[in-house]
Chain A
Amino acid sequence: MNPAKSYAHLFSPLGGEGADNYRAPNVLTFLRSSHVPLDAAALKASGARYAFVGIPFDEGNVGKPGSEEGPREFRLASQEYFTYWFEYNVDLYGVAVDCGDASMPKVSPEVARERIYRAVREVLKAGLIPIIVGGDRSISIAATKALSDHIGAGKKMGYLHFGAHLDLADSWAGEKHLAPCALARITELPNLDARNVAHIGARNAMNPKDWIDLAKERGIRFHPMFELLQRGVYEVTAEAIDRVWQGTDAQYVSFNFNVMDASDAPGVTSTEPGGLESREMMRIAELIGQRKTLSVIDVSELCPVFDVSGTAARLAVCVVTRIMAALAKERGEEIDASIRRADLLSGDGKSA
């Protein structure tokens, strides 16, 4: 055991001030991580791999409001979990920092989009992976543009989209940057080839004909739910992940948890029946993490006011952290399995 390093967080608490109750942190942050200001130099100095940024913006929605509360609920749900994963023997302690929420103006969506863009670029500039939690799906438009500009014209990016809706409206009531326009705008990025785009989970009738037409026109490969069920969830997902990672320098993974069946994620703005089950999504999260590299993770459209017993928020946390855990294992970051809680105790049974 390296005496210079703290291992206490791997274990159930030893007791004493500040270590009694893992659900009562001093400050509410993603996975009880440190707060670091949204500043490239500070982020770089943190030594973390991921930076969490909340994006409480829901003025891009055309349906139900409520995703503004998403980041808060996501952080709350993350308090239920430890950084240690017995399934992978890895420890996510110190792997992430929390930059707080990007300040969102009211009734100024253009200003909001600019701030989302700047937040994501700042994290990327520091060399960290942004984990951004919305907010509605329109946040992905600004965030993907940030990744696209960050890597520059000479590099290629891939984009993986989970959701029940294709979000391929070229415009909606004349507006071009709303949530249902997300994939339409994203597939216009100069360094994103349609061959590196995949959409998973489309189903049901909130997918008007112009969206399907645009997908065909742009050559966007989407895997509807029926295809997943007929060909097998893992086979299709692996194929989609291959497209996104094949020959790309950066990868953007975007979740709307309405890809899940409504029973597995009631707390999203637009639930849909007939979706994925949580055990399937857990395998998918692992497949993504096993790629070892990714550039941005976003989660949008969480809607705590509709949630039941924290179902959707807990699922979202488990998916994001499972990607992180699988990725850490794939990178050979398994911890020394021989460390024991008793090693932390000195002879008198008190914390050493």
Chain B
Amino acid sequence: MTMKQESVWRVVPHQHRGPAEHTGAEDHVRSPRKHNGSFKSRGLATFMGAPYCPPDRDEIRKMGAKICFLGCPWDQGQIVRAGTSQGTSGLREATTQYFPYMFEYDVDLLTFFRVVDCGDIPNVPGNNEKSHELIDQYITECLEGGAKVIMSGGDHSLPIPGSRALSRYMAKGRIGYLHVDSHLDAGPDWAGNKITNCSGPARAIELPNCSARNMAHMGSRNSLNPKDWWDFYVDNDIRVIAMREIVERGIEVCTAEIFEIAWKGTDAVYFSWDTDSIDISCMPGSTSPECYGLKGREAIALARVAGRYGCDVLDVVELAPYFDVSHMSIKMAANMIYHYLGSRARTLIEQGKTP
């Protein structure tokens, strides 16, 4: 590890090196001494107050980042109401209200993972194909840079280019694909369009190194689930844990089950987590929110169990702050990611591993 790499992290959070001098290398995990640091005074709003890193494999490698945050304000791949283009800025906004230190796991996420924010992926309005191509490229850069990816949506068409990128990156191995959502999202196409927000699993199964036995769906309920979506799971013999089963068996055992499926004989896992898997009472700021969903405490339990297993790309999609109330949805989304990372860090520490 070179001094140059160190220096980037010594000034975390990097935004506050101005006249009111930053007071110490580890100030970001403690109550402020001289001034508020990055807590609520955000400077440039980045995820977790992380340093900006250009979405370039060499730059990412140079910074030694192990988690790249990518915003993806793309919401024209959806069949429901619009609004998710604001999700990524909403999520960054929510993280300004948190410390990167999590007492539950006794870890500083920022320095443990060397988190960087690679900014937002650009898109081409009105062109789903070109926008997906850019998503694919940006994720590829992060993976090639040696990092795992947290992508904030954006609509639920994101896992289509996202899982494609992971599949290519892991071309010599096998990948698993998990879809947690109130909707089954397995349309072969929607009125002829094959890459909308309701076809993630249907596209994932077509990837050369992703098979049905490493795919699972969890959280489905209610009647925005046309029959072809259901038939996809029946015909391909893919495990579906519907909401009723989660209520009966508990979220932790169900989450463990889908991650066991995804990691069985695979080398990487794509985990796509739709905010509408969470109950509308805890997540109103989503584009097609549903009652009969996971409660806040269950979503966090899911994240914790997920952190025990880990994944290579986590997307949190369909976050729509327009419909939010009192920041509850954006803070929920931030916590889905934070608790995942916290649990992941704690797991790695206990295994004596580094990220």
Contacts and interface: CB of A to CB of B under 8 A. Distances in A.
Interface string B271-296: 00000000111101110111111010
Contacts of B44: none
B227 A87 contact: no
Q: Which of B244, B281, B282, B295 has the most CB of A within 10 A?
A: B281
B105 to A, nearest CB: 28
A314 B231 contact: no
Contacts of B292: 278-279, 282, 318
Interface string A267-288: 0000000000111011000000
B192 interface: yes
Nearest to B282: A263
Interface string A292-335: 00000000000000001111001100100110010000000000
B247 interface: yes
B291 A83 contact: no
Nearest to A324: B223
B174 to A, nearest CB: 28
Contacts of B223: 81-86, 318, 321, 325
Interface residues of A, number: 43
Contacts of A232: none
Interface in A26-72: none
A172 interface: no
A19 B293 CA distance: 29
A308 B322 CA distance: 11
Contacts of A341: 188, 227-228, 231
A13 B190 contact: yes
B280 A10 contact: no
A318 B198 contact: no
A347 interface: no
A340 interface: yes
Contact of A314 (B220, B229, B244, B280): B280
A340 B231 contact: yes
A85 B220 CA distance: 11
Contacts of A309: 280, 284-286, 289, 323-325
Of B79, B191, B242, the most chain A CB neighbours within 10 A belong to B191
Contacts of B234: 337
Interface residues of B, number: 46
B222 interface: yes
A87 B325 contact: no
A264 B291 contact: yes
A310 B184 CA distance: 21
A15 interface: yes
Nearest to B284: A309
A153 B220 CA distance: 46
A263 B230 CA distance: 30
B225 A82 contact: yes
A339 interface: yes
B242 A87 contact: yes
A84 B184 CA distance: 13
A21 B325 CA distance: 28
Contacts of A14: 191-192
B253 interface: no
Contacts of B226: 10-12, 82, 84
Contact of B288 (A80, A281, A325): A80
A321 B222 CA distance: 9
Interface in A226-272: 261, 263-264
B203 interface: no
B189 interface: yes
B8 interface: no
Interface string A335-346: 001011110000
Contacts of B221: 87, 282
Contact of A12 (B187, B279, B285): B187
A23 interface: yes
A16 interface: yes
A263 B281 contact: yes
A298 B230 CA distance: 31
B124 interface: no
Contacts of B231: 340-341
Nearest to B293: A278
A339 B80 contact: no
A318 B291 contact: yes
Contacts of B80: 23, 80
Contacts of A85: 223, 225
Nearest to A83: B223
B224 A81 contact: yes
A342 B226 CA distance: 14
A281 B325 CA distance: 23
B243 interface: yes
Contacts of B235: 340
Contacts of B279: 264, 278
A188 interface: no
A12 B284 contact: no
A175 interface: no
A20 interface: yes
Contacts of B280: 264, 278, 309-311, 314-315
Nearest to B281: A263
Given A11-B226, A321-B223, A339-B227, A311 B284 contact: yes
A86 B184 contact: yes
B191 A15 contact: yes
B281 A278 contact: yes
B227 A84 contact: yes
Nearest to A321: B223
The 5 closest A-B pairs by CB, nearest first: A309-B284, A15-B191, A278-B291, A341-B228, A309-B323
9 contacts: A12-B189, A21-B191, A263-B281, A264-B291, A282-B292, A309-B289, A310-B280, A318-B290, A341-B227
Interface of B: 79-81, 184, 187-192, 198, 220-231, 234-235, 242-244, 247, 279-282, 284-286, 288-293, 295, 323-325
Given A81-B222, A86-B225, 8 more contacts: A22-B79, A23-B79, A82-B226, A86-B229, A311-B284, A314-B291, A325-B223, A341-B228
